Structure 1
């Protein structure tokens, strides 16, 4: 006799709890009370075979009665049957429904889901209410009509983005990479296609030769002359596989001609075109230019993820992005009252992340952060401070920054906080992660906090971690998803290292007779060795060689040294560009355009800007929306240096009755209009301005002053200048 998965778990639950109610069962198994009643009827018939009674008493509850040996016999008979697997939670049902909807070009009926989900039609209808909300959040619509069925409707680009989000949400523990790794290593026999993510992933890109696709991507990687990060590699494989499947069904995406023209001038577009030619030839499809453009976006994004451990990153850095990284860290530390802006590891990681993030923001590439909910819940103060610091990106690049990006940036700041705490090491570990630099960094820092005697010797991808150099002198592998290794224990953890993960690691250490309480290893400097290095280098009068030799010596001793900034940038601060004569106020204006014209008037009259600059400021807002409104009642407006800037300057225009920009922070009462000659010199001034905005009652205080001099002195007092 067959037994439904959920019913097996209901029986187990009844046995463990002794007594429960239909309402409690309905809540636990996330189905309707009516479905539970039907399930209990089936359970009663099954249990009779094993001489176990199901007791249902009104107002008293539900229980089962029987001998332990009978119940054990029941469990033994059903534990290995094909019908046995984990029951589906509501979240899992929604994921499977979405997979099935995305797979189908035709409307689906309720009956198409019943066999897959093993729940009642009413439960499925309730699930569709949440699915409709999920689709709306991804700019898609659910068509649901009687005698028609259910079908997803929307633009192709939004469908692609939604599928990508769905895949990433269901693979937060590395399922995609593990699946691709299985195929890469020709372990096709290991593909157990149960009713789970792997099976539905396989259906979604069914009949696509992934091995050939990987071969094509590897060729592209060689031509691009850099190695993809795991997350970029998986995203590109999935994107191309989905594109092939969608193109076969006559579904292609659209890119504006202006963007295509810009992309065609890049080396990446030429390589994407070569990749597309190989795809056309092997998969027998036509790849439109817009699809080539989207492959180019992936290349551009991946290219900007430079190696984290590049010791010369400061020499090669983009001054604007580095300046933003530094200023964001200063805003963060001002809000959190903690010093992190001198942390070179954090600045390096943030700089590299922003290079890729700004590319995603520029080209509207999707990003899903599976850790976002946990970051918000576990580190609300860090997330909130990061969100405020991220306004610097919004102001500088005229683009809103997504909360998924903010979540990843918060990991860098969180890692810096953790890293500042004392370190002790005794165990050697290698970390295997797939979600990027930020995830690896926060996991490493969490480990250092909870286990001072764990030393992370290496951080590797799922494809390279088994290299002999990575596993040399290693005691354990700590991974964010399932791995198997014959020689070393693998401890699977959440990237944020929750309580159960801590217990697992502690238990392993305890079982191996190691202890947390180890003395910090002394780092000794031998003066005689130093003198030899100095004497040898001074004889040949080579200062550069002396510095390199000293660096090598200190590195071998595991002693950190701090270097001065190699690329000193001439920068503007608020005190340099905000003058008393640039601060003006008025009671009211007609509209936001008039407000911007009046805000720029003092700079125009003083020869700081040309009239075209004010026109460009207005045009940008008309084109991109009110991105410039960065805080309640405050707008920071600027255009490009080439739009008519003669000298650097900043004006403050106060509108006491406010003006609407059609933004949630309306009415705007303070307009800062910024003009600079260089893309990076003004970043500190913008950082200081954002610090002002997070000062309590800043807007109200500015409005209350009677003169420009009072306002300027008030600002200087806040900034301590």
Structure 2
């Protein structure tokens, strides 16, 4: 209970006078009637009774105080912890107060109590209680109502008290609680409402003192949410201990003690996780420092440490992050690879099953700490890509290498256009065709330009000369998460929030140019499963696979012959994955219209190579426009995935594969 301004003024005046102050003197000095004086004294006595202090007595129209010092002590304490003046609470503040009062109380609370304390109408309080009901329902907390008795929350659960803490943090700042405890008198009028109308002050001080002492034993590592959770449980435990013994009281004491024990155990585990997170952070920093210059700060270190704590918790609970938008990783592939490898190798592979999404999330947080200019910061390397025809494979490969190097620094040509003197114009030459007349470290030869192994091989060469520019929209994530943790606490599902925010922010990190609609000849009859072609020669397999495009008018007969001659002359450069060939020639070799056909052979076809390379999937592509290349890049990305190949090889998945191909080609249904 607290005193109104009139009650404060009257009690202060009485205490300033000697015993025997007559009511007539009060009338003249304060301008109060006899009835107002007697009513106000009755309210003051209610306050003094709640503080176990001596009451004011009226004897022969004079005011008498029993233990003046005790009354003065309680009055001084109250005034030092309250703010003067009138104050109108907002509807949201009143709603939070009602909710807190119901969450902390064990007995029914009538509507009249709220109208009196908040100085609001019954209609307003009833409307606010409807909102409180909905809040409780969303949290799955039962709220009972009994006519003429009021409202009560019967359930005793940790969720109830954790919900109390989350609402308390929204209503007042935790610094007000410390200020109240240390009698600094620096808090708001809403703080008055909380301290004097929700809590019993003597129990609150005792609970705060016990919690503060505990926090000192754990080296002050408790965050605000953990501190408040422990404080409120201590408060409730002390309150229930003062009740008369009965079965209900004993059950509540048992539950509260269990909640406190669990909280202490969780905090001890949290400290262990914090130490592990700090050690993991140092390990990651050491690995990253070999390739990047880090800009470390107290802020970034704290943000990373908190994130790694949540990462460690998810690993222990076998509940890894899933479905994170990975677009931003393409702008920092080397950083991602270093972090992914480091996480899996940490402390004897403690986190060996870490997912790509988890590693990507750690990478995202590190983007904030990377300087815009690493130790090595030179111009992008000039790259030349050589293919048999210089059109299809080289263009698609250019798109993949553009993840690491600005596309304007990459050129593509056909093998017959290459001249040895061009070596001096480029830093690297990537070729799918062997160049016997050239012997240089600049030349990188590969039979499978689309394998992950090849991309990992060239990535360090290309990235080592590049400046890393953080994606600014995404780097705001650490600031956003810090605010969420501060405002909402650690009890919520932070990982789910992180994933959603990443999907929002990362969606704009890489703004890909829109792909114009490209018309490809393809219908369901052009995905063919061959089951009766045992011992088929490779030339026959190529001709068989090209027939669909020939019949649909996409190519001329000479296009097929050119494909065969290219394989005879240049070898197996058209292999894009184990057992998969993307066969093609140039647009000038007989392409009439963009077209695609796909053929799956039950019995692999043996193509000419050193060991005789078995091919089970042949994709025939014809392209007459440059804007077709992004479409083919998407097709290659899909078909080179192990899961996609597994699905494609099974004829039972034919309809599913046709739908996927149509999607990649931008077609709603086969043409």
Instruction: Please tell me the TM-score bracket, short chain as reference.
Output: 0.3 to 0.5
Q: Point out the structure with max Rg over C-alpha.
A: 2
Give TM-score scaled by structure 1 length.
0.31
